[in-house]
Amino acid sequence: MTVANSFMGLRFWFDRTFGHWRGDLTGGLTAAVVALPLALAFAVASGVEPKAGLYTAIVAGIVAAVFGGSPVQITGPTGAMAVVLIGIVTKYGIEKVWIAGVMAGIIQVALGVAKLGRLVKFIPYPVTAGFTNGIAVIIFCGQLNNFFGLQLPRSEHFLPGIWQTFTHWEGLNWEAVGLATVVILTKLFWTRITTAIPGSLVGLVLATAIASFFHLDVPTIGSIPQSLPMPQGIPHGNDFRLIRELINPALALAALGSIESLLSAVVADGMTVSEKHNSDRELIGQGLANIIVPFFGGIPATGAIARTAVNVRSGGKTRLSGVIHGVALAIIVLTLAPLAAQVPLAALAGILMVTSVRMIEWEAIGLLMRATYSDFGVMMLTWMVTILFDLVLAVEVGLIAAGALFIKRMSELNLTKIPETEAFPPGVPLELSKQIAVYRVDGPVFFGAAERFVTFLRDEPEVKYLILRMRFVPNMDTTGIVALEDIYRDLKRHDCRLLLTGLQPEVQNLLERTGLLDKIGKENCFETTDAAVCALTPTAISCPLSPPLVTHSE
């Protein structure tokens, strides 16, 4: 029986791991074909040698597939990471980028072990849309030099780079412009012919063939070693100064790598009915990949949304597809590396330009414009800060703006005045009814509520009794307690009595623990509004015999 159970368990594991091998084979191979030109292009966009992009796609792709939390995630160089890396490479150099990459990987593993993977879900949509659109603009403009065939030094900042490009028109290379245009048109219209072969790969091969056949004088990516990435040492510092110098770049790489990878995993979950991703394990897998990649000459990587989607649509269902993607790229490097030396930089520029335009979330822009101007403003602020400064600052500014907007919305307490015909039971004298105001409070009570009631007292000075219907207030925080106490004090100064009705158990317990319920008085708290009105007019109408306050247990 034990042998049979072991055999069944082994068969279950085999079927789960290799039962979809045909789909995984197709998905992995297709993802590798798509990843090849993108790995070269994003390496160039990052300011490193093209081989670093291939080595990253191979090593990070395999490591993240084995240890990550998404069964179909494809990992490698991405446009968002390239935007951050170009600034770090320009400022620190590639060797320190390797050290920062290892530090970023350690941070990601720590986040995963601490089970903080789900925090990415709390990043507001306008913020993610803003920095995604900002990244797209930076990638597009960063390829203008290669598009025009201008061999200019890289600029660390966006505006100086644009100015540098448009002040060197005398060096424009029309042959490079022609090749880039060929790639762009091929990538745009190839899907009308077939979707079996990626248009980016077809455009890359076509532009390379044209440049070689006609011996065009255009910059190329240079030679790539015809060998697999081998382990190597990376520089290390013997003091704390190096870590302190690179902590900010490492945090930027870790934050971006985590956000983009988890967003990609969420997208993959929506495309497949197979096993859903584990956020914490995904962070650990991505962190391990970024720790290992620098020792093979690669650069920090993230989960790639486009390549992951290609993998899923082509049949990939398990981690085997990610491993096949890495192995296929390794075989391509061993067999076709010499041909890569002839690839024009203008061809890679064309690929990245189309990719960046498609990265812009046009639907999100339209949705936010139609929804609320405040959310649209948060997106635009994040977008502009991403372009003009850097991605990490953009996320920080976007989160602060979104948080301030949230606080503003929550502080705008939803108060609805109940008409006299609905608020009072029959028999309430007219003179007394004019002195009673009943308001329904909806939603949580925050600190912004106090000012609303001060305004109310100025507008209706004749009111001597204010009844707050609190049945739809699910909770309060400390600032809400302070606000309610301010309301009580302001009303008391104006000789206005405060009555509360329909307190939820959590709210009532909080008021009791803080002592505010004793200040307001339990005799001023009632289960229903009718009971509160009856307490004010005991001789005028018939009141039900019920205690003023229902005591809730903890």
60 vs 296: CA distance, rounded Å: 10
Comparing 390 with 178, the larger pLDDT belongs to: 178
Per-residue pLDDT, averaged over 468-472, amounts to 86
Per-residue pLDDT, averaged over 211-227, amounts to 87
Q: What is the pLDDT of residue 138?
A: 86
Q: Is the pLDDT of residue 184 over 60?
A: yes
Element spanning 322, H or E? helix 319-340
Per-residue pLDDT, averaged over 334-344, amounts to 84
φ, ψ at 186 (rounded to 5°): -65, -45
Find out whether 474 and 444 touch, Cβ atoms under 8 Å: yes
pTM: 0.69
Task: Report pLDDT digits (tens) over 69-95.
Answer: 999 999 999 988 888 898 888 888 888
The b/e string for 145-158 (b: 16+ C-beta within 10 A; e otherwise) is bbbbbbeeeebeeb
CB atoms within 10 A of CB 160: 10
427 vs 305: CA distance, rounded Å: 67
Whole-number Cα distances in Å, 294 to 105, 299, 307: 10, 6, 22
Q: What is the pLDDT of residue 13?
A: 47
Q: Is the pLDDT of residue 133 over 50?
A: yes
Q: Is the pLDDT of residue 105 over 90?
A: yes
Per-residue pLDDT, averaged over 147-151, amounts to 90
Whole-number Cα distances in Å, 176 to 179, 224, 245, 496: 5, 21, 39, 79
327 vs 424: CA distance, rounded Å: 77
Reference 429, options 530, 543, 528, 539; nearest CA is: 539
CB-based contacts of 188: which residues, under 8 Å, 6+ apart? 199, 354
Q: What is the pLDDT of residue 11?
A: 47
Domain boundaries, the chain: 24-361, 414-536
Per-residue pLDDT, averaged over 226-247, amounts to 76
Q: What is the pLDDT of residue 552?
A: 46
Going by their DSSP bridges, the two strands 497-501 and 525-526 should be labelled as: parallel
- Give the SS3 label for residue 76: strand
Local confidence band at 554 (pLDDT 50, 70, 90 cut-offs) = very low
Local confidence band at 296 (pLDDT 50, 70, 90 cut-offs) = very high
Task: Report pLDDT digits (tens) over 188-205.
Answer: 999 888 877 888 889 999
98 vs 231: CA distance, rounded Å: 13
Find out whether 146 and 166 touch, Cβ atoms under 8 Å: no
CB atoms within 10 A of CB 347: 33
Tell whether domain 414-536 is in CATH 3.40.50.2020.
Answer: no
Per-residue pLDDT, averaged over 8-28, amounts to 63
Task: Report pLDDT digits (tens) over 498-520.
Answer: 899 999 888 899 899 988 999 99
